[in-house]
Each structure stands twice: as structure tokens, then as C-alpha cells.
Structure 1
């Protein structure tokens, strides 16, 4: 019986050891489309562990000046030839590129130009700056980073008219928590909580106007700023408290 127990124990230990080996051997980068990709968490670890690679911000130079990932160099798509000398001389060196999220194509455009220039080890960070910032990972913030912006707001009457006459041209987003949304929201709204807004913004079409609202304006202001960084062209804000004060209805839903 003791021999059997020892055998089982040895087998379990061997299985655990095998799992650890396989986990250690797992690739850092996922295969996706024409370029490999890296997750936010893996990129964070790479930076914390000071691994050898070049991090490229493919957004505009103005966006880079406002804020960028720690250690990133700026090589905008339209200025590639001007800044290509910033890339490593070793054409096989690892280069990670990012821009403004999953619907931003600038990082892929710069990667394509780098590939044409002979670079072979190119990886895209698809979540981009907005998700990195949303997760609270380290950034370098410029003087303009905290500058307050003026949002384009819809009054309750304007919003009601839009929902009645032009609802197909807009997406209404409630950025409050899920339980708040369930307790009462504007008919037709979808729920994307503010704290994970950038990470889940891929469902929002850029060809439509995006209207964000919360109860008093704080969280929808945050979502509005994230939409700006994600390069959405048509963004609006509304206030749920004002909607209710105007006597307009809300609907409940199941959690």
C-alpha cells in the first residue's frame, strides 16, 4: 500500500513538473493575422523585467507628447522615413509597436514599413495606449495630459429626439456599473462600465455617433476622454440625472 501511495505521489509530482515546463515554454506572443501580438500583462512584465526590445509608439507626435508608455520611442506612420534611424541596427531585434487600440491601424502600418525595411521580429500590442492607461500601468505624462476638455453634450430633449428619429445613427452607452444599469437605464442603451471602457470599446462602431452617459457626468467624462484617445470621430455626452429630472422614463433589466 505504501509503495502504491509513493507511486501515486511520484506521478503527481512528475505531472506538476511537466506542467511547469510546458508553462515556461509557452510563447510570449500570440499569432494573429500578419503580425504576432502581445497582451497588456505580458508587455508590462517585459518592461518590468527590463527585457531587451524596442517599444514603438505609432501614434502622432502630438499624442506621444501628451502621454506614452514608459520607454517608448515615437515613430508616427507618416514620419517613418524621418525616424527609421531610431530602430535598432540589428534587423532581427524584437520590436513591439502600439497605437490607440484594436481599431487603430497605425501600429500595423508602421510595422509593415519596418518589415519592408528588413526588420523581421515585429510584434503588435493591440490594446494600445487607452487600455494600458485604463489598467493603471506606468506612463510618461506631458504637461497637457491633465488638461480639462470640453465635451459636446446633448440635453434631455435633444437626446430624446435623437433616440426617436435618428437612433440608427448613434450608439447610446451607459457607463455606470452593471447593477446600476439593471436598476434603471435609458431605453436602447448598452452597458460598458467606465473602468473597463477602453478594453471593451471594440463593440462600438466608428462610423456612428457614440453617446456616453452616467448619473452625474464624472464617469461619462472619463469614457468620453477614452473615446477621444481611441480616435472616435463623433462623441457626445448626456447626463442621466437631467434625463430623469425632465420626466423621461428609464427601464430596468435583469442582472
Structure 2
């Protein structure tokens, strides 16, 4: 009888050991949990209601100087240790961090430094400055904010070659309105309207080239700028009118 129950004794011991390991590991996992987030509207309400919190722009000094959310202070990852003394003395003070959107890791890195410094009340505005700007929220703009940028233009012929030979290396984005896209677009393109581009572009892969196009260049230029702010490394602009004038095929879809 004693031999019969011995395996169960070993099993119980193993389960007890596993429970002990999990007891040790769970607090470690909890310490690495994601930060709580705040929406665009909620952040605006907090600012409008003059709630007590510190808003921190975790982007570079150059990005901050170009434009930022009002009342935000600029603390980048590399500058954190030098300026941490300027943060509120009370470790329970509310800190809200932002950078250039959901694929920008700067705010999370600076927030993590704040957590290691002992701050316990931290929020991330994960949608970031591009979405704040896109939704028409108030910003502080520097002298270089409206400065024209030079886009990396892709001709219709090059675009056709890319789509036929290197399609898997690129994502083609039509930034026109949904009804325009339905009336005719380049085959293989996805539709992300310019008016909501920063909000919806978070799913675009950074490891691929992103090609944005519209009819004549205005809306795709704005989308290009937003992708730059979102730190996409390979961005191109194409013109749909040039594609049509070259006689290349256009496909239709239903709304």
C-alpha cells in the first residue's frame, strides 16, 4: 500500500514546488505589466479642467520644438537622469507620457525610467502627438512647423514595377475617401482616408516600404508627413492621376 501511494506523494511535492515557483514569478510579471493609457478626449478633458498632473513629451528636442501639446514638458530618454529632479517631489503625483503614437516606444521607455525612480501614478497617451494633431486638438507650433518637406516620389512606372516584382516588400495605401477608393484604385491598395490616417495607420508594418497616394498629391503629402512623425523608415509618395494617365489598370470595389 505504501508503494502504491508513493507516486502521488512525488506528484504532490512537484505541484508544491511549481506553486512556489509561480508565487515567486507572479510579482515579477506584474512589475513588467503594461502602463495604463488615456484617450485623446480624456487627455483634453484633463487639460481643460486644469487637473493636477505633469504632461511629458518623450520625443526628441527637435520634434518637441517643431510642435507639441500645450503645457507639455520635454523629457527624452537620454535626458531623464539629468532632469528627473524637476519632476514633482511626491512619488504619487500623476505623470502622463506621450510620443509619436502606438508604434513609438519613446514614451514607454521614459515612463519606465520614471517608474524605476519611484513614481507610481503613470499614464500613457499612446495615440500620441500625430493623432492629437489630426483631431484638431490645440498645439504649440514652432517656426519650422509648416516647413515644406521633400518627399520620396515614386513614378507611376516605378510603382507598377514594384507591384509586379516586389509586392511583398511594400504596402500601398490609398489615402482618399472611401467613395473615391470604391470608384477606382490601384489593385492591391488598402484604404486609409487622410482625415483619419494617424488614428488608423498603426497597423502598417515598419519593416516594409509604405507607399501613399491620392489624386494629385495633397492628401498623400500629409499622410507622408504623419508617417515621418510615426518614425516609419521607408516612405514613398505616388500620384493616382499619373497612374491613370499612364493607362495602368484601375479596379473598383463596393462601399
TM-score normalised per structure 1: 0.87
Runs of 4+ residues deviating >2 angstroms: none
Cα shift at 1:77: 1.1
Structure 2 SS opposite 1:200: helix
Partners of 2:130 and 2:114 in 1: CA distance: 24
Cα shift at 1:188: 0.3
1:1-255 alignment, distance < 5 Å: 33-255=33-255
Alignment RMSD:
1.0
Between the two proteins, the alignment pairs up a number of residues equal to: 224
Partners of 1:128 and 1:82 in 2: CA distance: 24
Cα shift at 1:86: 2.2
Partners of 2:73 and 2:85 in 1: CA distance: 11
TM-score normalised per structure 2: 0.87
Partners of 2:166 and 2:96 in 1: CA distance: 41
Gaps of 5+ in 2: 1-32
Partners of 1:129 and 1:235 in 2: CA distance: 19
Partners of 2:80 and 2:203 in 1: CA distance: 30
Partners of 1:69 and 1:175 in 2: CA distance: 25
Gaps of 5+ in 1: 1-32
